[in-house]
A and B are shown apart, each in its own frame.
Chain A
Amino acid sequence: MAKIGVFVCHCGENIAAKVDCTKLVAAMEGHPGVAIAHEYKYFCSEPGQESIKKAVTEHGLTGVIVAACSPRMHEATFRTACAEAGLNPYLCEIANIREQCSWVHNDGEQATQKAIEITRSLVEKVKRNNELQPIEVPVTKRALVIGGGIAGIQAALDIANAGGEVVLVEREASLGGHMAQLSETFPTLDCSQCIMTPRMVEAARHPKIKLLTYSEIEKVEGYIGNFNVTIRQKARYVDMNLCTGCGECILKCPAKKITGEFDCGLANRTAIYTPFAQAVPNKPVIDSDNCIYFKNGKCKACQRICPTGAINFEMEDELVELEIGAIVVATGFQVQNTALYGEYGYGRYPDVLTGLQFERLASASGPTGGKIQRPSDGKEPETVVFIQCAGSRDPSKGIAYCSKICCMYTAKHAMLYAHKNHDGNTRIFYMDIRAAGKGYDEFTRRAIEEDGAGYVRGRVSKLWEENGKLMVRGADTLLGRPVEVAADMVVLATAMVPQPDSKELGKTLGIGYDEYGFFNEAHLKLRPVETATAGIFLAGTCQSPKDIPDSVAQASACASKVLALFSREKLEREPIIATNNEATCSGCWGCVLACPYNAIEKKDLTDRAGNLIRRVASVNAGLCQGCGTCVTFCRSNSIDLAGFTEKQIFAAVMGL
C-alpha cells in the first residue's frame, strides 16, 4: 500500500500568491495513497527539509512529492534529503507548480486547479516509481581545452598546475588568440604581449600540458569522465621535430603578397609563415592555398633553403584519438563583418578601420611598429573619429546584445592616440558609456579629463570622402543638433560575434547555443561555467562577450570544476537508463541510428546449441545517458526508460 507524502511549498510568495496552497493540500489529503500533505513557506530551507525527513521516518512514507519550483532547481536537494531519511532518492519527485503554474497564470482559481492536477499526476507517477541505484563509472583524469587564447591557456595552466593532465588544442598555428593581437589593455594600459606571451610559453613548456596547435576537433563521443575525442592535426608541411625555427624559409618564400590575418589585413605575409614573431610554437606552417608549389607544382624554395630538411610537402592530416575526462570550451570570438554597415564605408575607404585593426596599428609588434598612421598614405592622422556600437545593440543589423568591451577599448584607443599624437583630436560617437568594472569608470574619466577624448552622444548616419578627408555626419543628441567632422581616420567599434562555425562545434560536442551561436551555460546565474552536458565547461567569449579579466576568471572557474571532477576516483551516474525488451524487439536498428551516444548494440539471441535465432538491440548501461530518444523511436514500445517507464508516464498522464 502506497504511503505518499505531499509537501506543498509556498516559495515565499512565488507560489502562494497565485495558488491556494491550503486548497491544494486539502485536495491531496483526499487522494488515494496519500498518507500526509503539508504546506510550508520554504521547503528548501533547513527546517523545511528537516520536516520532510521527519515525515518520511515517522509515517514510513513510500514516496515523496514536493510541489514547488522546477526540478532543475531543487530535485537534487529534496532527493538528498529523502536519502538522508532512508528513502531511496528516486522515490522522490518534484511537481513543478512554480515555473509551469503560478508564474505563468493570472487567474488564481484556475492556477490552483492546475496545481492540483500537476501534483495529482506526479502522485500517480511516484506510486509506480522503483528504487534505483546509482551507476558508478571511472574518471579519466585528462582534460581537453579547446582554444588557445587567454581563456584556454588560463584554464589549461590552472588544471596542469594542480597536477591534472591537459590537452590544449588550438586551430591556428600559434597559441595566443585575440589577446596576442592587442596593443595595450584596459584599464591598466599594460602591454598585452608582455603579459600574454609568457603565459603562452609557460603553457607550451608545462610538463602536464600536451599542446596541439593547427588542430581541430573532429569527433566527440562518450560522456562525463569518459569522452573519446578525435582531433585532426592539420598538415603543417613542416616537421616540428626537425625545424629549429630559424626563419630562413620565410625570407626565401617568393609568395609574399598574402593578406596577413594576424595584422588584420594591414600587412602581408609569405606562404610559409609564423603568424607573428612571438608565436608559440615559433615554427612556421605552409599555407597550402597560397603556396606556389601547391598551386603550380613548382618552387620548393623553402625546402631547398631549409638547413635541417624539415619541409615535407607530402605531409597529411593526422587523426589523434584521446580519452578525455572533461572538456573546457574556450573557442573565443570573431569581429563582426563590417560590410553590414555600408554607411560607414568599411572596405571602400582604407582609413576606415575596425577596432582590432587599430589595435595592430597601436601595437609595438604591429605593421607600423606602434606608430598610428593612415593605411592609405602613411600620414599621422590629425583627427580620429571613433564610432561605438558599430554593430552591437542594433537589432536591425541582427545583433541586439551589447559587446561589452567596446566602450572600454574605444576609450583606450582615444588615450593611446592622444599619447602618441599630442596635437591630435578625437571624436567618439557613443550611445551610452558602459564602464562597469574595477577601475573602468576611472579609466574613461581619465580618457576624457586627462587625454582630451571628445565624446559626442549620438549616432553617425553617413560617412563620405571629400578633399582627402573622411567626412562624418552624425547627431549630437545632447545639444540636439547635427554634427559634421572632417576626420583623417575612422575606427569602428565592431561587435563581438561567435566563431562562424561555433554552431557546428556545438553539435559535435552536444552542447546548446543561442540564436547567435554563443554557447549556452547550464544556468546563467548559478551554473555559469557548466553546460547542460555534464563534463563540458565554458570559458571566455565563446559563451558571451567578455573582457580579459572576466575571461580569465571564468577560465579559472572552469579549472576548479574540472579539478573537482578529477578529485574523485569514481563518478556516480544517474541510473536513468534505457532497457530493451528482447521478446518484442524486431531488430530494425532504428534505435541504434537514433541514439546520440552510440549506446545501443546488436545482440545475438541463440538457442542452446548456439544457433542464431534473432538479433535484438541491447543497451550499454555505461554509455546510455537516459535521453529517451530510442524510447520515442521504437514503434513497438520495446524500449523503456528507468525512472520514466511507460507505466509511470501513462499513470502520470491519466492522473491529469
Chain B
Amino acid sequence: MSIQQQYRSRAKELLQDGSVKMVIGYGEGTTATRRRPIFITNPDDTDRLVLDAACKTNLAGYLLREGLLADQKSVAIFLSPSGVRTINILASESQLSSAQVVVLGFQIQGDTVKALEGTKASDFSPLIAKRKEKRKAQPSHEMTRKLEQMTPAERFAFWEGEFSRCIKCYACRAACPMCWCRRCVVDNNQPQWVNTSSHTLGNLEWNLVRAFHLAGRCVECGNCSEACPVNIPLHLLNRRMTEEVLTAFDHYPGADEHQEPVLASFRKDDPETFIL
C-alpha cells in the first residue's frame, strides 16, 4: 500500500471513530506540482488527500485559526519534522495544546515520501534530537556562506537590492506559522515604528524586524520564501539566525514543547560573550 493510501485510510479511521473533528492535509493544486491545503471533516472526503514530494508547505499555522481548537476537540494534521517542531513551539508559547494535535508524520527525501512513526508531537523528540545534531554538523548553506564573506557594505547592498522588490504585501507574515500575534507590531500606528509604505528604509525595517522576531523560533520550513510573490530569499536571514542561536545558546527551535524561548530565558553559566 502506498504511503498516500495508508494515510488516507488512517485519516478516515480517525474521523470515523470520532477521535478527531478535522484532518488538515494536502489536496490537488492548480498545477501538477502544486498542492493546496484542504480541511476534511467528512470521512468520505479523505480520498481527496494527496501525499507526495510536492507537499512542502508547513500546515501547522492553520491550527491557530481563531476558534478551531477552542472546543478542546482534536485535529489531525499532516506534518513533516519541521511541522512537528512548529507544534512544539506553538505549545511552548501557549498558543495551542499539543494534546489536541494528532500528527500524521511524513518526511520528504528527494522524490519519495517516507512515513514517520508516532501520533503525538512528543513521539518525534528522538528524531528531532537527531536532526539537531545533524543541523549542528551541517556546513553553512552556499548562499549563507557567500553572504558572510561579503563586506558589510556589499551585504547591505545585496539586501537593499532584494528588499527593493518588497511590496509590503505581508504574505510572508500570513504564511509563517510563528506569526500569530493578535496585533502585529507593524500594524501598531501609535507610534508607527515600521513605515508602511514600500520604500527602502521601511522594507528593510519590516524584514529585519520579522527576522529578529523569529530568532530562536524559526524551524526553517520555507513557507515565507515560498509565499513571497517577488522571490525575496527570506529564508537566508532566518537560516543565519538559526545558526546563531544554535552556536551561541545550543538552542534548536522546537526541540520539545517545554523549551523556553531563547531570548527570554537565562542560564547562570551563560558565557555572556556579548557583554564587553
Q: Tell me the A residues contacting B by CB distance below 8 Å.
A: 504, 507, 583-591, 593-594, 615, 633, 635-638, 646-647, 650-651
Given the interface pairs A586-B181, A588-B95, A635-B213, the reply to whether A504 lies near B191 with Cβ below 8 Å is no
Closest CB of chain B to A616's CB: distance in Å? 10
List, in ascending order, chain B residues with CB within 8 A of A633's CB. Answer: 263-264
Q: How far is the CA of A607 from the CA of B78 in the complex (A)?
A: 34
Closest CB of chain B to A144's CB: distance in Å? 21
Whether B268 lies near A504 (C-beta < 8 A) is yes
List, in ascending order, chain B residues with CB within 8 A of A586's CB. Answer: 95, 180-182
The list of the 10 closest CB pairs from A to B, nearest first, reads A650-B191, A594-B264, A584-B183, A636-B181, A593-B264, A588-B93, A590-B264, A586-B182, A635-B213, A637-B185
List, in ascending order, chain B residues with CB within 8 A of A635's CB. Answer: 181, 185, 213
Whether A593 lies near B95 (C-beta < 8 A) is no
8 other contacts beyond A584-B188, A633-B263, A635-B185, with CB at 8 A cut-off? A588-B93, A588-B95, A590-B93, A590-B261, A590-B263, A635-B213, A636-B182, A651-B191
Q: Which residue of A lies closest to B260 (CB)?
A: A593
User: Does B137 belong to the interface (CB within 8 Å)?
Assistant: no
Q: Which of B164-220 contact A (CB under 8 A)?
A: 180-185, 188, 190-193, 213
Closest CB of chain A to B248's CB: distance in Å? 17
Q: How far is the CA of A185 from the CA of B276 in the complex (A)?
A: 40
Q: Which of B77-94 contact A (CB under 8 A)?
A: 93-94
The 16 listed contacts between A and B (C-beta, < 8 Å) are A504-B268, A584-B183, A585-B182, A586-B180, A588-B94, A590-B93, A590-B261, A590-B263, A594-B264, A615-B94, A635-B181, A636-B183, A636-B188, A637-B185, A638-B183, A650-B191
Q: How far is the CA of A530 from the CA of B264 in the complex (A)?
A: 28
List, in ascending order, chain A residues with CB within 8 A of B184's CB. Answer: 636
Q: Which of B94, B183, B191, B192 has the most CB of A within 10 A?
A: B191
List, in ascending order, chain A residues with CB within 8 A of B182's CB. Answer: 583-586, 636
User: Does B151 belong to the interface (CB within 8 Å)?
Assistant: no
Q: Which residue of A lies closest to B217 (CB)?
A: A635
List, in ascending order, chain B residues with CB within 8 A of A507's CB. Answer: 268
Q: How far is the CA of A144 from the CA of B183 in the complex (A)?
A: 45
User: Does B265 belong to the interface (CB within 8 Å)?
Assistant: yes
Q: Tell me the B residues contacting A by CB distance below 8 Å.
A: 93-95, 180-185, 188, 190-193, 213, 260-261, 263-265, 268
Q: How far is the CA of A504 from the CA of B192 in the complex (A)?
A: 41
Given the interface pairs A635-B213, A646-B191, the reply to whether A593 lies near B183 with Cβ below 8 Å is no
Whether B265 lies near A593 (C-beta < 8 A) is yes
Closest CB of chain B to A401's CB: distance in Å? 20
Q: How far is the CA of A587 from the CA of B180 in the complex (A)?
A: 11
Q: Which residue of A lies closest to B193 (CB)?
A: A650
List, in ascending order, chain B residues with CB within 8 A of A584's CB. Answer: 181-183, 188
Closest CB of chain B to A605's CB: distance in Å? 12
Q: Which residue of B lies closest to A645 (CB)?
A: B191
Q: How far is the CA of A591 from the CA of B181 in the complex (A)?
A: 14
Q: Which residue of A lies closest to B265 (CB)?
A: A593
Closest CB of chain B to A23's CB: distance in Å? 30
List, in ascending order, chain B residues with CB within 8 A of A594's CB. Answer: 263-264
Q: How far is the CA of A637 from the CA of B187 in the complex (A)?
A: 10
Given the interface pairs A584-B183, A588-B93, the reply to whether A637 lies near B263 with Cβ below 8 Å is no
Q: Which of B182, B184, B185, B260 has the most CB of A within 10 A?
A: B182
List, in ascending order, chain A residues with CB within 8 A of B190's CB. Answer: 646-647
Closest CB of chain B to A651's CB: distance in Å? 7
**Quick one: which of B191, B213, B261, B268 contacts A593, CB cutoff 8 A?**
B261
Q: How far is the CA of A615 from the CA of B70 in the complex (A)?
A: 13
Whether B188 lies near A637 (C-beta < 8 A) is yes
Q: How far is the CA of A636 from the CA of B181 in the complex (A)?
A: 6
Q: How far is the CA of A376 from the CA of B85 in the complex (A)?
A: 66
Q: Which residue of A lies closest to B93 (CB)?
A: A588
Closest CB of chain A to B251's CB: distance in Å? 14
List, in ascending order, chain B residues with CB within 8 A of A591's CB. Answer: 264
Q: Which residue of A lies closest to B180 (CB)?
A: A586
Q: Which of A583, A588, A589, A633 has the most CB of B within 10 A?
A: A588
List, in ascending order, chain A residues with CB within 8 A of B213's CB. Answer: 635
Closest CB of chain B to A277's CB: distance in Å? 38
Q: Which residue of A lies closest to B268 (CB)?
A: A507
Q: How far is the CA of A633 from the CA of B264 in the complex (A)?
A: 7
Q: How far is the CA of A636 from the CA of B268 in the complex (A)?
A: 28
List, in ascending order, chain B residues with CB within 8 A of A583's CB. Answer: 182-183
Q: Which residue of B lies closest to A613 (CB)?
A: B70
Q: How far is the CA of A445 from the CA of B196 in the complex (A)?
A: 77
Q: How far is the CA of A655 from the CA of B183 in the complex (A)?
A: 27
Q: How far is the CA of A649 from the CA of B46 in the complex (A)?
A: 54
Q: How far is the CA of A538 from the CA of B193 in the complex (A)?
A: 42
Whether A636 lies near B185 (C-beta < 8 A) is yes
Closest CB of chain B to A229's CB: distance in Å? 18
Q: How far is the CA of A282 from the CA of B274 in the complex (A)?
A: 48
List, in ascending order, chain B residues with CB within 8 A of A590's CB. Answer: 93, 261, 263-264
Closest CB of chain B to A635's CB: distance in Å? 5
List, in ascending order, chain B residues with CB within 8 A of A589's CB. Answer: 93-94
List, in ascending order, chain A residues with CB within 8 A of B180's CB. Answer: 586
Q: Which residue of A lies closest to B190 (CB)?
A: A647
Q: Which of A585, A589, A590, A633 has the most CB of B within 10 A?
A: A590
List, in ascending order, chain B residues with CB within 8 A of A638's CB. Answer: 183
Q: Which residue of A lies closest to B178 (CB)?
A: A635
Closest CB of chain A to B74's CB: distance in Å? 20
Closest CB of chain A to B99's CB: distance in Å? 17
List, in ascending order, chain A residues with CB within 8 A of B191's CB. Answer: 646-647, 650-651
List, in ascending order, chain B residues with CB within 8 A of A637's CB. Answer: 185, 188, 193
Closest CB of chain B to A88's CB: distance in Å? 23
Q: How far is the CA of A504 from the CA of B264 in the complex (A)?
A: 20
List, in ascending order, chain A residues with CB within 8 A of B192's CB. Answer: 650
List, in ascending order, chain A residues with CB within 8 A of B183's CB. Answer: 583-584, 636, 638
Q: How far is the CA of A593 from the CA of B94 in the complex (A)?
A: 12
Closest CB of chain B to A598's CB: distance in Å? 13
List, in ascending order, chain A residues with CB within 8 A of B263's CB. Answer: 590, 594, 633
List, in ascending order, chain A residues with CB within 8 A of B188's CB. Answer: 584, 636-637, 646
Q: Which residue of A lies closest to B179 (CB)?
A: A635
Q: Which of A589, A637, A638 has the most CB of B within 10 A?
A: A637
Q: Which residue of A lies closest to B64 (CB)?
A: A586
Q: How far is the CA of A504 from the CA of B267 in the complex (A)?
A: 11
Q: How far is the CA of A584 from the CA of B187 in the complex (A)?
A: 11
Q: How far is the CA of A586 from the CA of B93 in the complex (A)?
A: 9
Closest CB of chain A to B111's CB: distance in Å? 38
Q: How far is the CA of A118 from the CA of B183 in the complex (A)?
A: 32
Q: Which residue of A lies closest to B90 (CB)?
A: A588
Closest CB of chain B to A643's CB: distance in Å? 16
List, in ascending order, chain A residues with CB within 8 A of B94's CB. Answer: 587-589, 615
Q: Which residue of B lies closest to A128 (CB)?
A: B191
Q: How far is the CA of A590 from the CA of B94 in the complex (A)?
A: 10
Q: Which residue of B lies closest to A632 (CB)?
A: B263
Q: How far is the CA of A17 from the CA of B190 in the complex (A)?
A: 40
Closest CB of chain B to A360's CB: distance in Å? 35
List, in ascending order, chain B residues with CB within 8 A of A504's CB. Answer: 268
Q: Which of B184, B261, B264 has the most CB of A within 10 A?
A: B264
Q: How far is the CA of A651 from the CA of B191 in the complex (A)?
A: 8
List, in ascending order, chain B residues with CB within 8 A of A615's CB. Answer: 94
List, in ascending order, chain A residues with CB within 8 A of B265's CB. Answer: 593
Closest CB of chain B to A316's CB: distance in Å? 25
Closest CB of chain A to B256's CB: distance in Å? 16
List, in ascending order, chain A residues with CB within 8 A of B95's CB. Answer: 586, 588
Q: How far is the CA of A587 from the CA of B193 in the complex (A)?
A: 22
Q: How far is the CA of A585 from the CA of B183 in the complex (A)?
A: 8
Q: Which residue of B lies closest to A594 (CB)?
A: B264
Q: How far is the CA of A599 from the CA of B264 in the complex (A)?
A: 15
Q: How far is the CA of A646 from the CA of B95 in the complex (A)?
A: 26
Q: How far is the CA of A633 from the CA of B93 in the complex (A)?
A: 13
